[in-house]
Amino acid sequence: MDPWQAAKLIKMYMQQHNIPQREVVECTGLNQSHLSQHLNKGTPMKTNKRAALYTWFENKRKEVIERKEALIMLPLMSTKFFVAATLVFM
């Protein structure tokens, strides 16, 4: 994927998940203005800075997926606990 396509994908993901650019800047050390220009206009970024952005993106995607999976499992775990506790106290 070319850098401009990747930037559009990252920008769309950030919008869908309400992730502010400030979070990316704090996690990656990128300059906020440069990040904004890259995401909005496709302004080129040096390879090492793009790598930091892509690494942040991959880690954030994994984090969001894990959080969603945990939320899905929570009711199941609560139900199993309730059934197990009921059997113990019967």
The residue ranking higher by pLDDT, 40 or 87, is: 40
CATH superfamily of 3-88: lambda repressor-like DNA-binding domains (1.10.260.40)
Full-model pTM? 0.78
Judge contact between 87 and 58, C-beta under 8 A: no
Cα 30-56-20 angle, rounded to 5 deg: 65
CA count, 13 A, side-chain hemisphere, 23: 11
Q: What's the pLDDT at 68?
A: 83
The pLDDT tens digits for 56-74 are 999 999 999 988 887 776 6
Q: What's the pLDDT at 80?
A: 56
Share of the chain above pLDDT 90, in %: 69
**DSSP label at residue 89:** T
